[in-house]
Amino acid sequence: MSSKSRRPGFSIQSKLLVMLLGVSIGSSLVVGLVGYYSGSDSLKQAAYDRVTETRESRAREITNFFTTTENSLVVYTRGTTAINAVKAFTAGYDELQAQPAAAADTSAVTALYTNTFAPQLAQRTGNAADPAAFIPSDPAEIYLQSHYTDPGLDGTKALAVDTAGDTSAWSAANAQYQDYFREIIQRFGYEDALLMDNDGHVVYSATKNVDLGTNLTSGPYKGTSLATGYEAALNSNEVDYVGITDFERYQPSLGAPVAWIMSPVGENGVTSGVMALQVPIAAINTIMTSDQGWADDGMGQTGETYLAGPDQLMRSVSRELVENPEQYQKDAVAAGTPPDVAARAVQVKGSILIQPVHTVAVQNALAGQTGIITTRGYLGGEDIVAYAPLDIPGLQWVIISRIDTTEAFAPVNDFTRNLILSIVALILIVSLLSLVLAQVFARPVRRLVTAVRQVAAGDLAVEVPQGSRDEFGDLGNAFNDMSRSLRIKQSLIEEQTNENEKLLGTLMPATVAKRYKEGEETITDVHQDVSVLFADLIGYDDFAADLGAEKELSLLNSIVASFDEAAVRMGVETVRTLREGYLASCGLVVPRVDNVRRMVDFSLEIRAIIERFNAQHETALSVRIGIDAGTVSSGLVGRSNLAYDMWGDAVNLANQVQRVSGAAGIFVSQTVRDFMHDAVTFVEAGSIETAGGTQTVWKIQ
C-alpha cells in the first residue's frame, strides 16, 4: 500500500504492537519489583544469620575453653602432686633465702638484666628500661635466676632443664616435679606455670622466667594482674576458687600480652599457696580463627570473629593481619589507627592489646547488649557485625563477628543484576514477539519478496510459512517447493565437496591441503628440529598366514588405528602408513620444544600397544622402531597421483637405526640419546655410518 492511499492515524499493526508491549512491560516490572524485594530480603537475612551463627559458635567454644581450663586447674590444685610441690618448693626457697647470695651469682644475674633483659624489654616495648629497677636483691631470687634462668631468656630451653646439678633442696624439688608441670604445659599449650607461697614469693616457674623468685606483694611486679589475681586467690578461702585475669603487658615476658588463670593449692581447708597457668594466646587465636579456616567456617574472604576487652582493644588476632600484613597496615591506618600502632602489630605479628576497636558494635556489647548491625569496622569498611558480651567470670570481654558488606551482599547484588537482565531480556523477547505478531497481518507479500531475494543471494534454507489457505498460501507452497529443490541440489554438491576435503585431509596436513586447494602445484617445506619415528611390525605375516584377507586387514587396521589414536593423544603426526612400515613425526606441523620426549613416549606406547595385542590374540608380534631428530623436508610428490611425504637425513637415519641389529626394540640415534639424558634407560646397540661419520645407536630398555 502506498503512502498516498494509507489512512491517517495508527494502523492495526501499530495498535496491536502498542497493546502487547504495554501489557508485557507492565507485568514484567510488577513481577520484577515483587521478586526483588522478596529475594533481596531473604538473601540479606541469610547473610545476617550466617554472621550470627558464627558469633554464637565461637562464643560457645571460647567459653568452653575457659571452663575446661578452670576445671583442669582445680583438679591440679587439689591433687597431691601440686600440694606436695608447693610445700617442697617453698621449703627449698626458704632454705636459699636464709643463705647469703654468692658474689658470682649476683654478678651473673646483674649481667643478665643489664645485657639481655633490659635491652630486649626496651626493644619490644619501645620504652627505655632501667635494669636497676628489676635486678633482684633477695638471695633466693638471685640463686634461682643465676642457676635456672636461660641467659638468652629462652623459656623453651629452661623448660627442658630438670636440675642445675647443685645440691639445694629447691633443685631436688625441681628434679622431682619439673616433668609434671612440663607435661601440663606441653600437652595443653600453656605458656608457663607458676607456684606462689603464702607470702607472695614465686617459688616455682616452669620456664624459669625472670619472675622466678620475685615477691608479688613487694617486688617490681606487685602492681601486675598476676599479683592482684594471686591476692584474690589467696584470700578467697575457697579451695575450688578459680580466678582469671585479663591480658596485660607483662614485663617478665618482655611486654607481651599475658593473662593468668589461678587457683589456691591446699587440702583440708589449709591453703599452701597458689598455682597460676599462663593462658595460651595460640589456643584463643585457634578458636577465634577456626584454625585460620575462615572460609571453611562460612566467613568468606573478609569475615572474622574476634574478642575485645573493656579498653576496646583486641583480645585475639586480626584476620587481615594474619593473611596480608601489608594490606592490614594500610587499612588500619586509613581507618584511624595510629601508624606506629599498626606497624607494631605487624612487627609482633599480633593485635592483642594493640589494635583499637572503637566501633559501635564493641561499645554496645560492652554495655551488655546483643545484636547485629551494619556499621563501619575497625579497618574502615562497611561491615555486617554481630556482637554480644561473653559470660566468662572475671573477664569483661565481648565477641564480635563481622564480614564486609560487599562480600556479604554479593548474592543480593548478583540476584539484582540477574533479575534486571532477565526483565530486560524478557521485554526484548516480548517486543520482538509482538512485532512479529503484528506483522503477520500486514506483510505476507513483503515476506515472500524477502525470501526470494534471500534465495537469489544464496540462502537456500529459507522457506515461507504455510499458514494461510488463499492465493498467498499457494504462492508460498510453490516457492517452498522450488527452495527445497535448490537446497537438495546444493546439499548434494556440498556433501561431495566435504567428502573430497576429508579425503584430502587424510593424505596431507591441513596447511598443505589449503595451499593445494589455492592452486599451488609444487609444495615443499623445510622443517627444523623435528623428531622422526620409523616402525616395522615384525611377525605379522607369519601370524596372518592362516587368516583370510579380510580378517588379516581388519586386525592390521586395528593396530594402525591404535597407533594413530596414541599419536593424536601425544601430539605426534602420522606421515605415512604402509604395510611395511609406519612413519611419524613430531614438530613437523606444530613446532614443539619437547618433540624428542614426545616421540620417545610414543614409541613406548607403540610397544605397549603391541604387547596388549599379543595378550589379547595370543600372538608373538614385535616391533622394531627407529628414532632420530633433526631437519627434514616435506611436500607433495607426484602430479596425477598425489602423495604427501617426508624426507631428509633424519628420516633416513631413523630408518637406519631401527635396522642396526635386525632385532625388535626401540633404537635411537645419538641425538635422541643426548636430549633424553637419563630420562629412560639406554644401552648401546651398535653403530652406523652416516655422512657425518660413525654414529652410535642406542636401544631403550
Q: Where are the alpha helices (DSSP H) in 216-280?
A: 225-234
Residue 401 CA to residue 182 CA, distance in Å, equals 35
Q: Show the 3-state SS of 3-39.
A: CCCCCCCCCHHHHHHHHHHHHHHHHHHHHHHHHHHHH
**pLDDT interval class at 1 (50, 70, 90):** very low
Task: Answer yes or no: are the C-beta atoms of 680 and 701 closer than 8 Å.
Answer: yes
Classify residue 503 as left (phi > 0), alpha (psi -120 to 50) or beta. alpha
Kindly report, residue by residue over 79-136, the tens digit of the pLDDT. 999 999 999 999 999 999 999 999 999 999 999 999 999 999 998 888 898 999 999 9
Kindly report, residue by residue over 514-543, the tens digit of the pLDDT. 767 776 766 778 888 899 999 988 888 888
Kindly report, residue by residue over 142-185, the tens digit of the pLDDT. 999 999 999 999 999 999 999 999 999 999 999 999 999 999 99
Among 379-393, 496-510, 584-598, the minimum mean pLDDT is found in 496-510
Among 306-320, 356-370, 467-481, 551-565, the minimum mean pLDDT is found in 467-481
Give the β-pairing of 304-308 and 371-376. Answer: unpaired
Q: What is the pLDDT of residue 345?
A: 93
Give me 225's grid cell: 594482674
Residue 468 predicted with pLDDT over 80: no
Which whole number is the average pLDDT over 10-18? 66
**Sign, Cα dihedral of 247, 249, 254, 256:** positive
Q: Which amino acid is at 514?
A: K
CA of 424: how far to CAs of 201, 429, 434, 437, 455, in Å?
79, 9, 15, 20, 34
Instruction: Please tell me which of 306-320, 425-439, 523-537, 641-655 the model is most confident about, judged by mean pLDDT.
Output: 306-320
Task: Answer yes or no: are the C-beta atoms of 311 and 292 closer than 8 Å.
Answer: no
Classify residue 349 as left (phi > 0), alpha (psi -120 to 50) or beta. left
Cross-strand pairs, 682: 700
CA Rg value for the chain = 44
Sheet holding 371-376, edge to edge: 304-308, 398-404, 382-389, 371-376
Give me 157's grid cell: 630451653
Kindly report, residue by residue over 651-701, the tens digit of the pLDDT. 887 788 777 777 888 999 888 999 988 888 998 888 888 777 888 889 888
> Model's pTM, two decimal places?
0.58
Give me 645's grid cell: 611425504
Task: Answer yes or no: are the C-beta atoms of 264 and 274 closer than 8 Å.
Answer: yes
CA angle at 382 for the pair 376 and 386, rounded to the nearest 5°? 75
H or E, element range at 210: none
> What CATH architecture is 520-700?
2-Layer Sandwich (3.30)
Task: Answer yes or no: are the C-beta atoms of 300 and 225 closer than 8 Å.
Answer: no
Task: Answer yes or no: are the C-beta atoms of 185 and 159 closer than 8 Å.
Answer: yes
> Do 79-279 and 520-700 show the same overall fold?
no
Q: Where are the domains of the chain?
A: 79-279, 448-507, 520-700
Let me know if 606 is exposed, middle or buried by CB neighbors in 10 A (0-12, 13-18, 19+). buried
CATH class of 79-279: alpha beta
Q: What is the pLDDT of residue 696?
A: 87
Three-state DSSP state, 223: coil
Listing DSSP states for 567-611 in one string gives HHHHT-EEEEEETTEEEEEESSSS--TTHHHHHHHHHHHHHHHHH
Three-state DSSP state, 389: strand
* Residue whose C-alpha is closest to residue 396's, from 280, 244, 225: 244
CA angle at 671 for the pair 668 and 672, rounded to the nearest 5°? 45
Q: What is the pLDDT of residue 470?
A: 67
For the chain, the average pLDDT equals 86
Three-state DSSP state, 262: strand
Proportion of the chain above pLDDT 90, given as a percent = 55
CB atoms within 10 A of CB 204: 29
> Which residues have CB under 8 Å from 6's CB, separation 6+?
none
DSSP state of 192: -
Let me know if 518 is exposed, middle or buried by CB neighbors in 10 A (0-12, 13-18, 19+). exposed
Q: What is the pLDDT of residue 4?
A: 43
Residue 540 CA to residue 557 CA, distance in Å, equals 12
Q: What is the pLDDT of residue 437?
A: 67
Listing DSSP states for 295-362 in one string gives IIIIITTT-EEEEE-TTSBBSS--HHHHH-HHHHHHHHHHTT--HHHHHHHHHHT--TTTSB---HHH
DSSP state of 201: B
Q: What is the pLDDT of residue 11?
A: 66
CB atoms within 10 A of CB 66: 21
Give the β-pairing of 260-267 and 693-700. Answer: unpaired
Task: Answer yes or no: are the C-beta atoms of 560 and 582 closer than 8 Å.
Answer: yes
Listing DSSP states for 93-108 in one string gives HHHHHTSPPPHHHHHH
Residue 77 CA to residue 275 CA, distance in Å, equals 7
Task: Answer yes or no: are the C-beta atoms of 332 and 378 closer than 8 Å.
Answer: yes
Kindly report, residue by residue over 180-206, the tens digit of the pLDDT. 999 999 999 999 999 999 999 999 999
Listing DSSP states for 471-492 in one string gives HHHHHHHHHHHHHHHHHHHHHH
